[in-house]
A and B are shown apart, each in its own frame.
Chain A
């Protein structure tokens, strides 16, 4: 277990070394936060209580979206392009002979990365947003740890999805197409553009049931106090369920892929 702790710490520090990139990222997040905030204000002005949110809650949604954009890798990114590259070039051979589990290794590294992005890319835009706009901050202290747990589960689901994308490179050789699709799906189905609560009918039902809703929609609703009591437990079960299911599929693909490499030479 200590090995994976070291891997996670490495993942954290690795992103921490690029300070200028982080500062530039914070700036971009903030600018987009402002653009989206004013768009939402206009929208909620015409249709108050849209999706069950008041304007202040809608603005909170915007800024949490910016804070979690990198943390939960809503649009993909993080480790999978690196892993895809390692599969393509055959560097994956080095990883395979190590006495460590491939999936756990990358999960640990990605959790380290997410922790850094939460602090480095999440906190600053959120604070700026809270200074300028009237956000709906939690009334109870316990909402904060509840929110963080939900974010953690969201990151694991996000990892599991991206790991599947990366594993596809064993068959496709070039993972660019799969990554592009995952990015578009993530952008839409995480609720990054518009809260999933706004979608009517079947589309809304489906969007809210897909794993991507664990990434942003669920954590935000926990933050806004929409899930309490058993509702909160249900939300966690939903996230954890997707996490376990997708990690399981990822593990299965990994086993098949490594067997193929081991027998076929890739």
Chain B
């Protein structure tokens, strides 16, 4: 079967059966559809963001992609391999970083964990040395190699974990919240590294996160999942249109006035903008992101005593939050 995607999912489902006590001996069975018919393709070398609220099915998808969960239905392939059937073979070609779990050996120096990876993935000696050197340099691990993992800070440990996932040259890297709990500097370091990895080695990266800055800085494509369904798949910019996002015009007037009203320019019923908030002489006016601000500003300036104004771009987080809310 011809397949253009490096990672391909066709109507993949995962249904969990939850048993709940109902009365003394009776048990009720309930189905939970964690992933409910998801299809997408990821090409080799792409860097894709995979976002959604807690419990949306992100981690379940990642677990199916690594083969530690078997899909209840649908077809799933990574590099032409069915993950749940050939988990071990696939493991040599993928790298996984679970932000909230560690693969490192807790009581031992970082270097020992890397030695373990060396043997576990049967990495040729030269390759191993080169990759380790490179990771140490780019992730700034030089002084940490001899430090027991339990003594590392969260940011240091995360960098250590990312290096551990890359020593065997994986073609795909799954990152499950790689920047969770990190400070601004550590986040920047991790992002910079991922960007270079993708650019230099062409590693395919699938990234789940709650931090949208990760997505904005790293991914040209984003997928939004909620209630186990794919809500959106496309560019970050396109998300604004789908999310019916609005821009905000903040105006300062000479004096306190009732909320500004402007009728639609083409004479329709919809007003051109609506006042969201009034605070003394300052008013917040929302208008569709796609509409041009210039004519609106001109009309306000003509009709009202305008002192100052600014336009605020839509907040991607607000867009996504609205998307989550609109689903049943």
B34 within 8 A of A: yes
- Bound form: Cα–Cα A97–B14 in Å: 18
| A14:B91 contact, CB within 8 angstroms | no
| A10:B148 contact, CB within 8 angstroms | no
B105 within 8 A of A: yes
- Bound form: Cα–Cα A56–B117 in Å: 50
Selected interface stretch from B20-28, B61-69, B308-316? B61-69
B107 within 8 A of A: yes
| B98:A264 contact, CB within 8 angstroms | no
| B116:A99 contact, CB within 8 angstroms | no
Interface band, chain B: 20 to 34
- Bound form: Cα–Cα A75–B209 in Å: 44
27 contacts between A and B (CB under 8 A): A3-B116, A5-B119, A10-B105, A13-B108, A13-B112, A14-B105, A17-B108, A17-B148, A90-B101, A93-B68, A94-B98, A94-B102, A94-B103, A96-B68, A97-B67, A97-B91, A97-B96, A99-B88, A99-B91, A99-B120, A100-B120, A261-B68, A262-B68, A264-B16, A264-B17, A265-B16, A265-B34
| A265:B105 contact, CB within 8 angstroms | no
| A91:B120 contact, CB within 8 angstroms | no
Q: A13-B112, A262-B70 are in contact. List 16 more A-B contacts (CB 8 A).
A: A3-B120, A6-B118, A6-B119, A10-B112, A93-B98, A97-B67, A97-B68, A97-B87, A97-B96, A98-B91, A98-B120, A262-B69, A263-B69, A263-B70, A264-B17, A265-B14
List residues of chain B with CB within 8 A of the CB of A98: 91, 103, 120
| A97:B107 contact, CB within 8 angstroms | no
A7 within 8 A of B: yes
B115 within 8 A of A: yes
CB contacts under 8 Å to A, within B92-132, are 92, 96, 98, 101-103, 105, 107-108, 112, 115-116, 118-121
B39 within 8 A of A: no
- Bound form: Cα–Cα A255–B264 in Å: 67
- Bound form: Cα–Cα A14–B34 in Å: 39
Interface on chain A toward B: helix, strand, loop, or mixed SS?
A: helix
A19 within 8 A of B: no
Q: How far is the CB of A131 from chain B (nearest CB, A)?
A: 33
Against B, the Cβ 8 Å flags (1 = close, 0 = not) of A81-105 are 0000000001101101111100000
Q: How far is the CB of A251 from chain B (nearest CB, A)?
A: 16
CB contacts under 8 Å to B, within A1-60, are 2-3, 5-7, 10, 13-14, 17
Contact partner, A2, options B63, B96, B101, B119, Cβ 8 Å: B119
- Bound form: Cα–Cα A10–B107 in Å: 9
- Bound form: Cα–Cα A93–B63 in Å: 8
Q: How far is the CB of A79 from chain B (nearest CB, A)?
A: 12
B84 within 8 A of A: yes
List residues of chain B with CB within 8 A of the CB of A5: 119
| A6:B70 contact, CB within 8 angstroms | no
- Bound form: Cα–Cα A263–B66 in Å: 14
Residue of A whose beta carbon sits closest to that of B104: A94
B204 within 8 A of A: no
- Bound form: Cα–Cα A210–B92 in Å: 42
B60 within 8 A of A: yes
Q: Nearest 4 CB-CB pairs, A to B?
A: A3-B119, A99-B91, A14-B107, A99-B88
